[in-house]
Structures are given as C-alpha cells and as structure tokens.
Structure 1
C-alpha cells in the first residue's frame, strides 16, 4: 500500500481504516503502524497520527468498528445541534458490554429506534433525547440550545424521557424539563423565568414573535398586553460586539413600535434578583397606566 492507496482508503473510510477490510495490505498496515504514520483508535481501527484527535475521526471510528453503536452524550450533541459540545470522551451505547478503551466510554443499553438518527454511516441519539440526557443541573444549557435552535421541542423531550423511562438519573432530568416549561433559550433566561415564577409574576410569555417593519423579533420575555419586553443579555453579549450592536437596532425598532424595553444582564440576575423583580413590576404598573391614559 503506497501513499496514494493509503490516502484513497482513508478518504473512503471517512478518515479511518479497518484492518479486516484491508486483509491484502496487512503487512503495509503493520509497517505504517510501526513507523507511527498510523495509530490505533479502537481495536483494528486506525487513523493518521495527525488526525487521530479530531472529533469527526473519533466518532467515525466508533461507528466503523461497531456498526450497531449509537453515539450519545456530547458526541450526539455535536452531530445533532451543538457543534462545540464538550467532548472529553466519546460515548456510545451498544447492546453488548465492551471493555473500556482510552478516550471512549461504552454504555450497555438499547436506544429506541425512533430516537436514533442515522446519516452518512453514523448513528446518534436524536436531539430531543440527547438534550434530555445531558440535562443535569451542570448541563441544562443543552436543553436551552436545543430549544433555541429548534432542533427539538419540549414535548419531544418529554416523549424521549417517557421512551427511556427506566434510565438512571431520569428524576433529575424530569426536574430540568419542569424548570424548562417556559422554554428558556439560555441559562440567563432560565434564571429570569425562575425569579418571575417564584415571585408570582404572571401574564408573560417567553420568546414571543413580534413583527416590526417586516422583520420578526423574538422577545425574551414579553407582557403582550402591557407591551413590555424584558430582554436578557446572557454571557454571549459580554464578548460578542456584533450581538451587542444588533440588539441595539432591535431595541430601537421595538420602541418605535410602542414597546417599553427593559434590559438585564446575567450579573444583574445573579447578584440582584429582588431588584430584577421589582423593576419588572414597576414597569408593568407604568405601562398599564400609560396605556389606559392614567399617566
């Protein structure tokens, strides 16, 4: 197997080689392994040394080595709706138990077929199940991101939880879904929803679509009757200049359309929760008085 043949085989295999499929080249494979040009990822599955750490190659190695495997956790999130999901190890579910491998973690379980996505030789849990299974308190952002990108619905997540109802940890996942009942699109929005619910503030809706001058804006928290918008600037706003600028254009358009807009940062919600609720309540009173002509 010369360099050209090796390159073609790697391209055909999506960056990985299976020893059993190249029986006539075993001597050449062994030489490539001894020279360090190829490295093993899983038993009988190899990749170029310089590509072995790439997530796409590692995911491909699982599905090539174990065709009945279903990628779960961060691996499934990367394929489904979260390209930068944390991936300390590649996790996969299989119907049989396997010995641990460095960089890989195996779960002995069967995924309901209706919750499996199969594309391009890869198999992974669909976004609803993936988000639910990542939905611990430490990773609730998976639910927020799946909702924000419309990769999954809250109803779909509840159905995924029902179809996997015997999974350990489901009680915690159910609590996160309950906490997500108003469909937050970020951790900061989730905190704002909690504060409003705890204070008994009602009459609001999250991510309300509003059309202004032919453009649709989604209001983080909206009191439609009072025409009060509560915009939550999450952590992304602190570092993204373009997002900062676009939010100002958006706010100007909403004000022209008769909306009063309040803005709160993650730090304000975290450090001054009572003041947040007080500001919202005070603005509701002012808006109601203004709209009824009593101000």
Structure 2
C-alpha cells in the first residue's frame, strides 16, 4: 500500500504559494504534486481537505494572484454578495484598470476598464466592485437575459435600488455601454424570486409581450388566495414556472392546492417547465399570446 502523502501542519487547512512551501522546506516539488494538495491557480495550492468553493478561489486570487488595483468583479463579485451561484470549477472574473498590464492567468477571466474609487469596496475581506458597478459590468459582459437575472437578485436583496440604477444609466448617455445598461436596468424587477423566473420574464418581454407583474397576490374579499409568479392582472392571465423543486411531491402538492383556489376566479394559469423553457419556448409563447388575446377581446 502506498504511503499517505505528507501534510505538514503549517499547510493544513490553508491556501498557499507552492514555491514558498518548497523554498521553506515544507514540501518537495513531488510532494506538492501529490493528492494532498489541490492547485487553484499557477503556484497557488489548497489543502485538498478544504471545501473549495468559488469564494475560496476569489479569496485566493485576491490574496495571492492579483496585483494592487485589480479587483474581483462581475459574476464572481455577485456570487460573493449571494446574488448568484457559481461552480467552483468556473473561472473568477476580475477587473483591471485601464492602462494597467495584467494577465492572462489560467483560472481568471480578465476584463479591462476604467475604475473609480467609488466602484471598489471590500466584502468578506475581499476587494470587489460595488453592487452598482457589478450591474454595469454584467450588462456589458453577459447576455441580457443572464445579466438581468443577477441584477434582479441584487435588487431583491436590497443591494441596489432600481430607480437610482436606471437614473444613473441614463445620466451616462454617451459612455461606452450605456445603452446595454439602460436596457438591463429597465428590464430588472426586484420582485422576482428566482433566477429561472427572471430569465422567463425577460424572454417573454423581449419577445414583445407586455411586461407582467411579478409575485402577484390574488385575494377574495380581502383574504389571500394565491401568489402567482407572473401575472397580467387586468386580463386575469398568469404564468407559473415549474422548476426542479417540483421533484419534491410535497412542494408540488402545495403549489397545486394553492392554484386550485383560483377555480371560480376566472383566471387562466399557464405552466411552463424547465424542459419546455429550454426546448419549446416558442410553443409556450404562442399559447401565452393566445391566452392574452382571448382576454383582450
């Protein structure tokens, strides 16, 4: 049986520079390549017994890879604020000030742009762009649907306010990327409660359908009946997104019981699954348009 890899106490539970560990005599180059250690970036390693998350990678990059002035940004910064989730294997977004040379670095996506002092803060002891700057960068770097979904989460968590965000976007008319920021800000909705619902709403609106109300509450004589993901209340048409959580029989039961309360209230409720959203959105869109037309006559 092969011997277990050597794990010096000074390196256990830590992220460290491999070259320094070798120079200090803690490990040999061969030991550094053993299963005891996990490479994160060039010359940056972690104890393999650590749980490696995207935050771990962001912190390691900020501490051991990034030069002064370069900060965590975009989706990575949003993930640190809890506005999105990123798999540990995905690269870290960083923003480099215009005129500063840095990169490329394996494991990082390097973006270059002007950075004001007001655009940078520290969160979880990591230098990151502010939520407002995150929104601007997402609008430039991501497809509209994906950018809006993250801005929705930032707004839902009260990390950005949409009215000032929209005003700020329009105040920067003429700046590079301002049109994309205006579009994303106008499409964002703090009422959205999940990323799939945000993407569904944005795709519906970009298809030319009037903007729905998010999380609309239906009442009867002042008593709560149901809350709908997306609704056109004046037409009594709604859309419910059936996501992966409906694999839970109890959740499915609760949702269907909630919607059954609308029987007799003259609502049309359309359902769309994750599979249909991916594979037959056009077919669903035809059904939605037909439902809206039927109530507009």
Name the stretch that deviates more: 170-179 or 120-129: 170-179
TM, length-normalised to structure 1: 0.67
Matched, 1:251 2:265: no
After superposition, residues 181-200 of structure 1 pair within 5 angstroms as 185-195=197-207, 197=209
Is the contact between residue 148 and residue 187 of structure 2 (CA under 8 Å) also seen in structure 1?
Answer: no
Structure 2 counterpart of 1:121:
125
Matched, 1:147 2:149: no
- Structure 2: segments with no counterpart, 5+ residues: 1-5
Is the contact between residue 117 and residue 123 of structure 1 (CA under 8 Å) also seen in structure 2?
Answer: yes
Corresponding residue pairs, total:
270
Q: Per-residue CA shift, 1:192-211, capped at 9, x if unaligned?
A: 334564xxx68x63433456
The CA deviation at 1:218 is: 4.8
**Alpha-carbon distance between aligned partners in 1 of 2:253 and 2:63, rounded to the nearest angstrom:** 46
Is the contact between residue 91 and residue 105 of structure 1 (CA under 8 Å) also seen in structure 2?
Answer: yes
Residue 74 of structure 1 aligns to a residue whose secondary structure is: helix
The CA deviation at 1:53 is: 6.5
Matched, 1:79 2:80: yes
The CA deviation at 1:71 is: 0.8
CA pair 121-40 structure 1, distance change in 2 beyond 3 A: same
Q: Per-residue CA shift, 1:27-64, capped at 9, x if unaligned?
A: 22453675425566456644235669642332111211
Is the contact between residue 70 and residue 111 of structure 1 (CA under 8 Å) also seen in structure 2?
Answer: no
Structure 1 counterpart of 2:92:
90
Structure 1 counterpart of 2:3:
none
**Alpha-carbon distance between aligned partners in 1 of 2:52 and 2:296, rounded to the nearest angstrom:** 53
Residue 25 of structure 2 aligns to a residue whose secondary structure is: helix
**Alpha-carbon distance between aligned partners in 2 of 1:18 and 1:164, rounded to the nearest angstrom:** 42
Structure 2 counterpart of 1:63:
62
Residue 28 of structure 2 aligns to a residue whose secondary structure is: helix
Is the contact between residue 182 and residue 193 of structure 1 (CA under 8 Å) also seen in structure 2?
Answer: no
Matched, 1:28 2:25: yes
Structure 2 counterpart of 1:289:
none
CA pair 239-126 structure 1, distance change in 2 beyond 3 A: farther
TM, length-normalised to structure 2: 0.67
**Alpha-carbon distance between aligned partners in 2 of 1:281 and 1:182, rounded to the nearest angstrom:** 28
Q: Per-residue CA shift, 1:133-188, capped at 9, x if unaligned?
A: 33467352342244256034433543664688787544334334444479764222
**Alpha-carbon distance between aligned partners in 1 of 2:257 and 2:287, rounded to the nearest angstrom:** 26
RMSD: 4.3
Larger proportion of helix: 1
- Structure 1: segments with no counterpart, 5+ residues: 286-295
Q: Which of the residues 217, 230, 233 maps onto 2:227?
A: 217
Residue 82 of structure 1 aligns to a residue whose secondary structure is: coil
